[in-house]
Amino acid sequence: MGKRILQAILLLLTIFGLCSFYEGECARIRAEDAEKAVPMCLPVDLSRSGVYHGQYRKNFASNHGDYLYLEIQPAFRSPEERNEALAGLAARIVLTDEDGEQIQDDKIDSKALEQRNSSGWNAGNIGLRAWGTGTYNVAFHVVQPAERMSGRAQCLIGQYLFCGLEFMPALLLKAVGVGCWIVVGVIAFLAWVAASTQHKRQQPPMQEPAQAADVDAQAKA
């Protein structure tokens, strides 16, 4: 009875470890996909007044934050060129959730756009207050245009902000899986040692054969 219970425990630990490791691997894949994801790509033109509408589709909730950055082609060759091209810009970004409730209304100007150094001096980051998964409606209002931005392709790119902790659930789940397998191995080894020791104790002791010469000598005496 005890042997069957032990076997059942080992089987359950093995299955639980396998499931934990599998879930950890899935979590790692989801985090890597989210790190490379582009939740929104909204073409805009900062050289003209107008309102540009887009949707920020968020399907990953464990990231450190959400932001938009303004990708510009051709990119600026220097921060001085960037500041000169964006001079006079006045804009607003309005974010609403799926129920139409406004959750963000921020003013944007040339100073609010931090520098982003990728293939050149692009304009930088606009933080979004998109806390949960879902589809958010983005309205980008160009109130006062930056006329020197004319002739450049411009697009608001959405991205998840990662700090590294997003991969912790995957690491913990995989560690639990490996830990279960280690426990199974240790228990199985100890059970084998205990069974071997018990088997040796149950065997009768070996008797030394009597020497025929000594028996004959005692008989003659």
pLDDT digit of tens for each residue in the chain (221 aa)? 577 888 888 899 999 999 999 999 999 999 999 999 999 999 999 999 999 999 999 999 889 889 888 888 888 888 788 888 888 899 999 999 999 999 999 998 887 775 554 444 455 678 899 988 999 999 999 999 999 999 889 999 999 988 888 899 999 999 999 999 999 999 888 888 877 787 677 666 655 555 545 555 555 55
- The pLDDT score that the predictor gives to residue 131 is 86
- The pLDDT score that the predictor gives to residue 191 is 83
- The pLDDT score that the predictor gives to residue 117 is 46
- The pLDDT score that the predictor gives to residue 82 is 83
**Which token pair is 70?**
């303004």
Contact between 62 and 28 (Cβ < 8 Å): no
Q: How far is it, in rounded angstroms, from Cα 182 to Cα 8?
A: 16
Q: What CATH number has the domain spanning 38-163?
A: 2.60.120.790
- The pLDDT score that the predictor gives to residue 80 is 83
